[in-house]
Amino acid sequence: MKRICLLLAFFAYQLFFSQLDNTHYLQPIIFGAYDTTTITEEYIYLSTPSTANITVNVRMADGTTIPRLSVYNINAATTANNATGTVTFNNTTPLRLAVINASNVVLPPGSSPMTVATTRAGTIIPANIGGLVFTSTDDFFVNYRGLSGSQAGSVLAKGKVALGKNFFWGGTPNEFTTNVPEVGNMVSMMATENNTVITISNIDSGTQFINGANATPLTGTTITRTLQKGQSFVLYAKVKLNALSLQDRGWLGAKISADKNIAVTVGGLMQQGSIETGTLSDNRDFGVDQLVPVEQLGNEYVVMQGNGGTYERVIVVATEANTTITMNANVNPSYTLANMGDYQIVPASFFTNKNMYLKTNKAVYVFHKIFGSSALNTNSFMFIPPLSCFGQTSVNMIPDAKQIGTTSYDNTELAVLAASGTANIPVVTVGGTALAATVAAGTAVPGNANWRSYRYNIATAAGGTATIKNVRVSSAGTIQAELVGASGAAGFGGYYSGFGTAPIVTIAVANSPSTRPCTGTTGSSSLSLSVTPGLGTYQWYKNGAPISGGTNSNYSIPITDNSAAEYNVIVTPPGGCLIYSNVVKSFACPCYKPGATGTPEITKIGVSTRASKSTANWPADMNNAFLALESNDKGLVITRIPDPEESIATPVNGMIVFDTDDLCLKIYDGTQWSCINQTCN
């Protein structure tokens, strides 16, 4: 359940250009055996739109330990060892970094800050061993790329917009059995402050995770750890060999909560290719991507297909109950996700001219299982950004786009989503030479005429040298850029723009006698939305239906309406994008009447922390109780838990907890959990 924000009345106008930022975080990744079946090389690519030199400081996750670096100037083809952790570059001198030891030997995957040993899974990873932080006074891109002879993958760091307190574990489930023991799914979480409590809940009961070197796996529907600044915690679910099992998807949709900002990366060696007539497939590749928190998500997505045809999938993960998914130009929802954390695997049949449009009534995570070519071992996955009319208009630049290290991927392609209109047709250059789209006019997005997609063949572009393909993209309007590459046996991909660019609309509650919004004859609620003038038009909704006349930035619930309901507002700015607010739940306001009369029953049992009784007859003068508690400086704290509907597998009638998401005491009546609200009876 999405936490309700009640205390602040504002329209949070946040324009983050993710991927391009002055601070980036890379969480440590786990891939398995660290051999030719998984990964043997890894690099970090740095680039910037700045024509003047910028300086970037590279530190271990603790923010102080300096890693030794091998710094390769891509354009000049020169290498220098660096012990200061400080590098300088500009738009024409992108860099490729590797981490080295004191003898200037490159650290192999599995022992570097980017990839740690499999036995680190299930343990707290020290901040001076796993993870990196990149900082500068200027904006830049950070792109991790890894490979072996038969695998490849890429992660785009998303800057400060990646930090948050609420996430959901997403990715793509394994749909076919495998003989490969290294296949599995991972989530890596890094703390940015001391004493950060992280809780992973809504895990399917029975799912097993690697527990360090311990043969007994980690299990449980909820797992909690406390991390210090820069420390990381990784959960890794290995698949069962030659059998489909809970390991393939029991982690998918798990909720990740923290009391302080964290950064989260998901992925692993997984997503093996498929065959139409059988169940076994050892085709595989690794895919990994960094997430953004729930508040940076959206309700409209365009997914641009790769080259995998019917093998491609789109996975949608719900962040709230009763989430509907409407596909392409359909009027009615194609899918409904009943519970928070539920997911839907959308087949490739919904692609039209390699475009797929999804619209949801509540914020969702969207992941794309994509293939670099028709070969089943070139798969990867991408975390897809929501549509936004407020996004960046250029990606300047993607360095050495068809390479990972010295390995060339000759099926590298760029897909660009751009606002419709001839003035917005993207301009793509490779090595400074303009590159034409394979379809000059682009292709339409089914169900959303505001966007078109364009494709560019990067590998065979005339610009640049035979190997170096530095790519720049620009447009008069908003764009999203997707790079996907493949060789004969491996594929990789990544988004270079799009997340966190839309304004955040937060409903604030006023004039309510309770800490939560209530309606009815004993109280009134005014749900106030303060917006930037001229942003667009507004439409309020009650339980998903538009409210007649609710077309202003403020809406007041009628005082006679005492029915519990969900309220939200949709803002339509110029350009046709839709901006969805959070959802606020109301309930009937409490009423009051005199207490019951008659002879009270005395209380016989009391527990006190006071040095002496507060009254001579205590607890007998605390009427009508089984047990009385008393203290000068202590309170009673009952069980605090997020989402008891999901967290407590077998509740019993009368159970009471405090729901830390809905911020209320809840009681289970044998059928459902409900907030305890004061009412007349």
Mean of all residue pLDDT scores within the chain: 86
User: DSSP characters for 236-249?
Assistant: EEEPPTTS--GGGT
* pLDDT for the residue 604: 81
CATH of region 508-588? 2.60.40.10
CA angle 256, 61, 297 (to 5 degrees): 35
Give the whole-angstrom CA distance, residue 156 versus residue 129.
Answer: 21
Sheet (strand 443-445) strand order: 443-445, 448-457, 413-419, 479-486, 491-495
Q: Is residue 523 over pLDDT 50?
A: no
Least confident span in 135-144, 500-509, 577-586:
500-509
* pLDDT for the residue 500: 53
Length of the chain: 681
- Tokens in use for 222? 């909820």
Q: Rounded to the nearest 10 degrees, how much is the dihedral formed by the CA atoms of 631, 633, 638, 643?
A: 160
User: Which of 11-20, 198-207, 608-617 tops mean pLDDT?
Assistant: 198-207
Give the whole-angstrom CA distance, residue 287 versus residue 297.
Answer: 21
What type of residue is 456? Y
Exposed/middle/buried for residue 451 (C-beta within 10 Å: 0-12, 13-18, 19+): buried
CB atoms within 10 A of CB 536: 17
- Higher-pLDDT residue of 675, 108: 108
* pLDDT for the residue 389: 77
* pLDDT for the residue 259: 96
Token pair 């071992």 is at which residue? 377
Least confident span in 235-239, 447-451, 655-659:
655-659
- Higher-pLDDT residue of 495, 433: 433
Token pair 């603790």 is at which residue? 62
- Higher-pLDDT residue of 506, 552: 552
Sheet (strand 656-659) strand order: 640-641, 656-659, 664-668, 673-675
Q: Is residue 431 over pLDDT 60?
A: yes
- Higher-pLDDT residue of 610, 121: 121
Average pLDDT over residues 287-314: 92
Least confident span in 12-26, 73-87, 631-645:
12-26
351: Cα separation from own chain's centroid: 23
Q: Is the dihedral of CA 144, 378, 300, 480 positive or negative?
A: positive
Residues in contact with 54: Cβ distance below 8 Å, sequence separation at least 6, in sequence order:
48, 88, 89, 90, 136, 137, 138, 140
HSE (CB half, 13 Å, CA atoms) of 147? 23
Q: Is residue 100 over pLDDT 50?
A: yes
Give the whole-angstrom CA distance, residue 569 versus residue 588.
Answer: 21
DSSP designation for 533: T
Exposed/middle/buried for residue 108 (C-beta within 10 Å: 0-12, 13-18, 19+): middle
Token pair 């980036």 is at which residue? 24
- Tokens in use for 458? 């990067």
Give the whole-angstrom CA distance, residue 91 versus residue 51.
Answer: 5
* pLDDT for the residue 626: 81
User: Which of 148-152, 195-199, 514-518, 588-592 tops mean pLDDT?
Assistant: 195-199
Least confident span in 146-155, 359-368, 439-448, 606-615:
606-615
* pLDDT for the residue 16: 37
Give the whole-angstrom CA distance, residue 621 versus residue 619.
Answer: 5
Pick from 114, 55, 147: nearest CA to 290: 114
Pick from 496, 415, 395, 402: nearest CA to 456: 415
Q: Is residue 315 over pLDDT 90?
A: yes
Contact 249, 208 (CB under 8 A): no
Pick from 557, 560, 660: nearest CA to 1: 660
DSSP designation for 646: H
pLDDT digits 0-9 by tens, 24-57: 999 999 988 888 888 899 999 999 999 999 999 9
Average pLDDT over residues 196-210: 97
- Higher-pLDDT residue of 500, 647: 647
HSE (CB half, 13 Å, CA atoms) of 431? 16
- Residue 677's pLDDT band (cuts 50, 70, 90): low
* pLDDT for the residue 436: 95
- Higher-pLDDT residue of 213, 181: 213
> pTM of the predicted model, to two decimals?
0.81
Give the whole-angstrom CA distance, residue 627 versus residue 141.
Answer: 61
Domain coordinates in residue numbering, the chain: 508-588
The 10 Å CB-count burial string (b at 16+, else e) for 244-274 is bbbbbbbbbbbbbbbebbbbbbbbbbbbbbb
Residue 565 is inside which H or E element, if any? Answer: strand 565-572
- Tokens in use for 621? 């003068």
- Residue 10's pLDDT band (cuts 50, 70, 90): very low
Give the whole-angstrom CA distance, residue 2 versus residue 642.
Answer: 10
Pick from 328, 321, 264, 265: nearest CA to 300: 328
Average pLDDT over residues 668-681: 75
Give first-to-last CA distance, the chain, whole Å. Answer: 29
Report how far apart, in Å, the C-alpha atoms of 9 and of each of 224, 326, 431, 510 are: 33, 31, 48, 9
- Residue 512's pLDDT band (cuts 50, 70, 90): low
- Tokens in use for 433? 């030479």
- Residue 274's pLDDT band (cuts 50, 70, 90): low
Give the whole-angstrom CA distance, residue 545 versus residue 567.
Answer: 9
% of the chain residues with pLDDT over 90: 53
HSE (CB half, 13 Å, CA atoms) of 647? 22
* pLDDT for the residue 571: 84
Pick from 91, 89, 95: nearest CA to 143: 95
Average pLDDT over residues 276-304: 82
* pLDDT for the residue 9: 28
- Higher-pLDDT residue of 242, 428: 428
Rg (CA), the chain: 27
- Tokens in use for 601? 């029953």
- Higher-pLDDT residue of 598, 101: 101
pLDDT digits 0-9 by tens, 623-658: 888 888 888 778 888 888 888 887 888 889 889 998
Average pLDDT over residues 426-451: 95
- Tokens in use for 224? 């909690």
3-state secondary structure 13-42: CCCCCCCCEEEEEECCECCCCCCCCCCCEE
From the DSSP assignment, how many helices (H) and strands (E) are in the chain?
A: 1, 54
- Higher-pLDDT residue of 95, 670: 95
Tell me the three state secondary structure of residue 159. Answer: helix
pLDDT digits 0-9 by tens, 536-591: 788 999 888 999 998 988 888 776 777 778 888 888 876 667 778 878 877 776 66
Sheet (strand 526-528) strand order: 508-510, 526-528, 554-556
Contact 155, 41 (CB under 8 A): no
Report how far apart, in Å, the C-alpha atoms of 259 and of each of 166, 252, 306, 588, 641 are: 9, 22, 38, 30, 13
